[in-house]
């Protein structure tokens, strides 16, 4: 199978082919995901929750993400891998350039940043320096203390309009991918239609160009709490490989996420 590139993902959007992605943190799972045909993997700062046992993503450092990115790259040498830039690692453009370079050296194909129009200069500078960028709007886990918790974003008209404006501005700045987290499905559909770059949803409904889940959620490993937008694919399939393939198949077929996994 040919290696996925950003050109591949753009072509999939243009053709209406759903993009499937998942978080990965180690070599073994990266190898499994890649062999099953995952379109790309994200080394998420969610590792703070699911690997380190923290209550948020805030304790995660660049060194942590770099370590796990190297592990994922070793397991899937030809995969398209995005690495999260953790909390306060891109507070200024200059800092972002230095920290992103570290992640690219460890094997990332792209870095992901959370935030809106305040990132325009940073994104423009990263792209000019050869670092592809994935933007992230909606629920921003790194801003959980400002948001007052993990809440659906963009339900009010003004907030929805602001999210659309941010999405267009980030695309104009050079972002080549956008993750939309925990927003109403109607807003996600509108943004996916307006943008020419692929829009990847998590808790954003079925009309995004693709989907991403945290691997531990998708496998039902967080038994104490399962978000509304998550489905336990392992419970339905009986093996890790079968669960991954079922997840891919249902996203590609447009049957996941269903109405029960969607916010209005």
Query: Known binder of ligand: residue 45?
Result: yes
- The residue length of the chain stands at 264
Return the SS3 of 21: strand
Query: Known binder of ligand: residue 112?
Result: yes
Distance CA 74, CA 157 (A): 45
Nearest to 114 by CA among 141, 94, 92: 141
Contact call for residues 206 and 262 (beta carbons, < 8 A): yes
Which residues make beta-bridge pairs with 218? none
Q: Active-site residue 181, yes or no?
A: yes
Contact call for residues 171 and 163 (beta carbons, < 8 A): no
Query: Known binder of ligand: residue 172?
Result: no
Query: Known binder of ligand: residue 217?
Result: no
Query: Known binder of ligand: residue 207?
Result: no
Distance CA 40, CA 34 (A): 8
Q: Which two tokens stand for residue 264?
A: 């209005």
- The residue written with tokens 């507070």 in the block is 91
Contact call for residues 147 and 94 (beta carbons, < 8 A): no
- The residue written with tokens 């801003």 in the block is 143
Among 102, 181, 186, 260, which one carries the catalytic annotation?
Answer: 181
The residues annotated with a catalytic role in the active site are 181
Annotated binding residues, as ranges? 45-46, 84, 112, 114
Binding annotation for Mg(2+): 45, 84, 114
Positions at the binding site for 3-methyl-2-oxobutanoate: 45-46, 84, 112
């Amino acid at each position: 199978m040919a290696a996925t590139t950003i050109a591949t993902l753009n072509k999939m959007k243009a053709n209406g082919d759903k993009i499937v992605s998942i978080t990965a943190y180690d070599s073994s799972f990266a190898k499994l995901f890649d062999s099953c045909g995952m379109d790309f993997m994200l080394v998420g700062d969610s590792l703070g929750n699911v690997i380190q046992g923290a209550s948020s993503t805030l304790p995660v450092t660049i060194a942590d993400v770099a370590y796990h990115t190297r592990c994922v790259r070793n397991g899937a040498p030809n995969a398209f891998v995005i690495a999260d830039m953790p909390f306060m690692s891109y507070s200024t453009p200059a800092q972002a350039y230095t920290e992103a370079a570290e992640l690219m050296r460890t094997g990332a194909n792209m870095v992901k940043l959370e935030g809106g129009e305040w990132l325009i200069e940073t994104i423009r500078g990263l792209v000019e320096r050869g670092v592809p960028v994935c933007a992230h709007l909606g629920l921003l886990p790194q801003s959980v203390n400002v948001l007052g918790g993990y809440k659906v974003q963009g339900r009010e008209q003004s907030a929805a309009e602001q999210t659309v404006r941010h999405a267009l501005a980030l695309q104009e700045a050079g972002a080549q991918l956008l993750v939309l987290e925990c927003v109403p499905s109607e807003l996600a559909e509108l943004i996916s239609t307006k943008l020419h770059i692929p829009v990847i949803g998590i808790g954003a409904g079925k009309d995004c160009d693709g989907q991403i889940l945290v691997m531990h959620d998708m496998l039902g490993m967080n038994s104490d709490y399962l978000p509304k937008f998550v489905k336990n694919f392992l419970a339905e399939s009986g093996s890790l490989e079968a669960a991954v393939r079922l997840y891919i198949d249902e996203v590609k077929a447009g049957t996941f996420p269903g109405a029960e996994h969607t916010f209005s």
